[in-house]
Amino acid sequence: MYRYSVYIMKQLAGATLLIAVSLTSIVWLTQALRFIDFIVNRGISFTSFLELTLLLIPSLMLFILPFALLFAVLFVYYRLMMDSELLVLSGAGLSRFQLAKPAINIAIVVSLIAYSISLYILPVSYHAFKEMQEFMRDNYASLLLQEDVFNNPVEGLTVYIRDRDKEGVLYGIIVHDSRAPKEPAVTMMAEKGQLIQSAQGPTFILYNGNRQKIENGKLSFLDFAKYTLDISFYANSAGKRTKQPEEMFLEELLYPDTSDELEKARLIAEGHNRISYPLFPLALTLFALAVLLSGEFNRRGQWQRITFIVVCSGIALSVAIGTLHLAVKNEWLISLLYVNIAMIILFSLWKLLFDMEVRNISACLADNAPSGSNAKFAN
């Protein structure tokens, strides 16, 4: 491999890694901040918090990789242009495709990494995330109830607590249960209580309170010293819960085991997105190189080209995301996922490989064409 190629590839690899890690860290931090309160005030260990949130990184990385590589290509090649390094290489006889080849090599590697995430790492990590989330919901149910807030863990159930101590005992409790549609709603107030784990799921033990119910127009009032309430926060156990599309492998998505036509279409569309999206690092890299390396070298005109690349890349990604949602109701739109990427790749390759040859032939014909009296003499 030529030295110039290794030189450019090293810069691209470093820039891509730095941008990918930085963007992923920023997005991960915004997601993780939602769980900080459970560490500070709820008692969940930092290790559990870190393990849960780190399982989100593969999904974030898959989304960010095309942007990271695109920005790296724009930054590195813009700097090479400003330092006249590309101009020297071009003067040494290198074609546009040869100048673009180091970035294309990096793009192929990034696309392969994206495929490994999309087809294997994402479903494995997201499945582990959902399993751990279910475990924490079942084992830390009391921690998920916020003080001085009317919590609605499930439809038809409202829980209010005034305070809690370090042992997890809850104080100033109000529970309004209207989950049974054919039964009158029940309101319970208690001095204190505690959530414990039973075979049926989280159970509320209430102490020193009362139970109120209006039945046939009459108020039924019951004082109690201890009352057990099966709150059933989460109806599905970890083994019976419905798998999310993100934790399914490609075969499960393309050949879904469901009779629901809408759900089936959604899974198939997600499966084709898993195949097409990892090609975006390669497609956007080719497009950026085709635009940056085309035309005459102009130090002042590069920002216009960069803006054009960013806008067009954003449009291409928006089309892919929009098509994914529309394909749920219109299955034929799935083909647009591939057409969108194919058009970018084919246009870019034509620009890099053949456009310059057409221009050179036209220039040669113009230079060799007879003019003035010589043209008349030739005739």
pLDDT tens-place string over residues 106-142: 999 999 999 999 999 999 999 998 887 776 665 555 5
Give per-residue pLDDT as tens, 289-346. Answer: 999 888 666 656 578 889 999 999 999 999 999 998 888 888 888 999 999 999 999 9
Instruction: Report angle CA 352, 353, 358 to the nearest 5 degrees.
Output: 105
Q: Examine the pLDDT at 366 and tell me if it is beyond 50.
A: no
CA-to-CA distance for 177 and 154, rounded, in angstroms?
10
**pLDDT value at residue 343:** 95
The whole-chain average pLDDT of the chain stands at 82
Structure confidence by residue, pLDDT tens digits, 27-72: 888 877 776 655 655 556 677 778 888 888 999 999 999 999 999 9
Lowest mean pLDDT segment, chosen from 35-44, 200-209, 262-271, 355-364: 355-364
Scan for tokens 């085991």, then name that residue: 257
Q: Which residues lie closer than 8 Å to 306 by C-beta, 6 or more apart?
A: 74, 78, 292
Domain limits, the chain: 3-138+242-364, 145-230
- Tell the residue number behind the tokens 């997890």, with chain if given: 168
Over residues 149-160, mean pLDDT: 78
pLDDT of res. 313: 94
- Does the structure show a pLDDT above 60 at 372? no
Strand order in the sheet with 201-215: 151-154, 157-164, 170-177, 186-198, 201-215, 218-230
- Residues whose CB falls within 8 Å of the CB of residue 13, separated by 6 or more in sequence, listed in order: 106
Is residue 232 pLDDT above 60, yes or no?
Answer: no
pLDDT band at 237 (very low <50, low <70, confident <90, very high): very low
- pLDDT at position 137: 61
Q: What is the reported pLDDT for 298? A: 61
Q: Encode pLDDT of 168-201 as tens digits.
A: 788 999 988 887 777 888 899 999 988 776 666 6
Q: Is the pLDDT of residue 360 over 70?
A: no
